[in-house]
Every structure is written in structure tokens, then in C-alpha cells.
Amino acid sequence: MRADLSQVQLGERIGRDHKTIHRYEHTTSVPTLTGLLLIADALDVPLRDLV
């Protein structure tokens, strides 16, 4: 899956800072279930595709 969004763009879509998105991508932070649901919704994919 590829959405071609920057960290800033995804952050704006889910109401999170781009630094938070960076932490998720580099596994220095783990999103909550709510965060995962927001990301799945923003990317228009089922949650199971993210995990």
C-alpha cells in the first residue's frame, strides 16, 4: 500500500504532529488503537492492512 503522503500531510489528516508520524514510522513510538483507526481512515484502508 502506498498513499504518497508526506508525514506532514498524514499528520494533518489525523490531527497529529508530523514528528509523531515520524516516531510511528521509526518505531520509537507506538500509536494507540485510536491512532491506528485514524490512520486507517485517512488512508482509506482496513485496520487489518496496517497491522
Copy the grid coordinates of residue 38. Answer: 485514524
Tally of domains within the chain = 1
1 falls within a domain: no
Copy the grid coordinates of residue 9. Answer: 500531510
Say what the pLDDT of residue 1 is: 58
Which residues lie closer than 8 Å to 50 by C-beta, 6 or more apart? 36, 39, 40, 43
**Cβ-contact 5, 37 below 8 angstroms:** no
Query: Residue 33 and residue 41: Cα distance in Å, rounded?
Result: 12
Say what the pLDDT of residue 51 is: 85
Say what the pLDDT of residue 39 is: 96
Domain harbouring 25, CATH code: 1.10.260.40
Copy the grid coordinates of residue 40. Answer: 486507517
Say what the pLDDT of residue 3 is: 77
34 falls within a domain: yes
11 falls within a domain: yes
25 falls within a domain: yes
pLDDT < 70 positions in the chain: 1-2
- The range of the structural domain enclosing residue 16 comes to 7-50
